[in-house]
Amino acid sequence: MTRRVSITRRAALLSFMLIACVITAFPILWMVATAFKSSDEALQTPPVWVPGHPTTDAFSAVNDVIDIPRSFINSLLIAGLTTTGILLTSLLAGYVFAKYRFRGKNALFAVLIGTMFLPPIVTLIPLFRIVTQLGWDASLVGVIVPNLANAFGIFLMRQFIAGVPDELIEAARLDGASELRIVFRIVAPNVLPALAALAMFAFVYHWNSYLWPLTVLQGNEQASPIVISLARLLTYTGSAANTPQVMAGATLAVLPPLILFVILQRFFVNTMSRAGMTG
């Protein structure tokens, strides 16, 4: 929608947006700037805003304290496998809830959707015990398996699959295609933007998730994802002189979800907007 806006109002709006951008981006920019500072610069009062002599010393020092490559592989395994699982289970269940009719469907859907609004702490303790009884404590299996399906994914997929024309599905059935074939060959290609958005949402969420891996992986540092290694980095490097190291670690941890967001943000924002409203 384009409207005529007076010069002064346009200038006011622009400066407001500029200030908002600067304030919002500041913590991230400061994190990156500090990662390139020397210990001396990090200790100065008043603070050094832009490093005078940028150095990558902090980045090499991080790896002496925590195992960065290992942490990244663990995070990739957790976020990657969980996302794959969520995409599959959500696609199948979303298809059933969008296109099938059977008794009790709405009640089942309501129960599943109800779990979307459940704060994880409510189930954390028995869930931890279940995972321990299954012998999955202190392992990545225990971090990944309980999260392979979730209500948000099912809800999102149902919303978008409902928009796929029934005629397409019926035609495929008449051709003798199996239901699985229909899901992957007809339905999935028609909801690609929503799948991309769900993939991004799940990956970022599980890359960042902290409470559950912290609880499951107690006593197994080898399996730590980057977010937990980062917390350990903070404890091991308490003094302010080590701030550049901590910021270097944080910068590395932030990169994958941020890059993914920049690539897929178009799908993400559109899908979130469309799905959020029907909730």
Partner 1 sequence: MRTARQNWWAAGLLAPSVGLIGVFVLIPIVLTLWLSLHRWSTATPFGDAEWVGLRNFDALFSSALVGRDFRQALRNTFVYAGLSIALLIPLSILFGVIVHRAAVRGTTFLRTVLFATYCVPMIAVAIVWSKLYSPTEGPVNQALGWFGIGPQPWLSDTGTALISLVFLNVWQQLGYFTVLVVAGLTQIPPSVYEAAALDGARNVKLLFKITLPLLRRTLLFCVVIALINAIQVFEPVATITQGGPVGSTNVLTYHIRQVGIERSQGGLASAMAVTLLLALMAVVTLVFALMRKGDDR
Q: Which of 62, 199, 230, 248 binds partner 1 (CB under 8 A)?
A: 230
Q: How far apart are CA 57 and CA 7, in angstroms?
A: 48
Note whether 50 binds partner 1 by CB under 8 A: no
Amino acid symbol at 91: L
Note whether 220 binds partner 1 by CB under 8 A: no
Nearer to partner 1, 69 or 117 (CB): 117
Q: Which of 59, 95, 152, 160 binds partner 1 (CB under 8 A)?
A: 95
Chain position carrying tokens 């995070």: 75
Residues 56-75 that bind partner 1 (CB under 8 A): none
Note whether 7 binds partner 1 by CB under 8 A: no
Q: Which of 66, 143, 197, 204 binds partner 1 (CB under 8 A)?
A: 204
Residues 28-47 that bind partner 1 (CB under 8 A): 28, 30-31, 34, 42-47
Smallest separation (angstroms) from partner 1 to the CB of 45: 5
Q: Which of 20, 73, 168, 171 binds partner 1 (CB under 8 A)?
A: 20
Q: DSSP state, 244?
A: H
Q: DSSP state, 261?
A: H
CB 198 within 8 A of CB 90: yes
Note whether 171 binds partner 1 by CB under 8 A: no
Q: DSSP state, 45?
A: S
In 3D space, the residue among 194, 186, 192, 180 whose CA is nearest the CA of residue 167 turns out to be: 186
Q: Which of 186, 187, 198, 227 binds partner 1 (CB under 8 A)?
A: 227
Q: How far apart are CA 233 and CA 114, in angstroms?
A: 37
Q: Which of 53, 69, 121, 239 binds partner 1 (CB under 8 A)?
A: 121
Q: DSSP state, 3?
A: -
Q: Which of 154, 187, 197, 198 binds partner 1 (CB under 8 A)?
A: 154
The residue count for the chain: 279
CB 222 within 8 A of CB 13: no
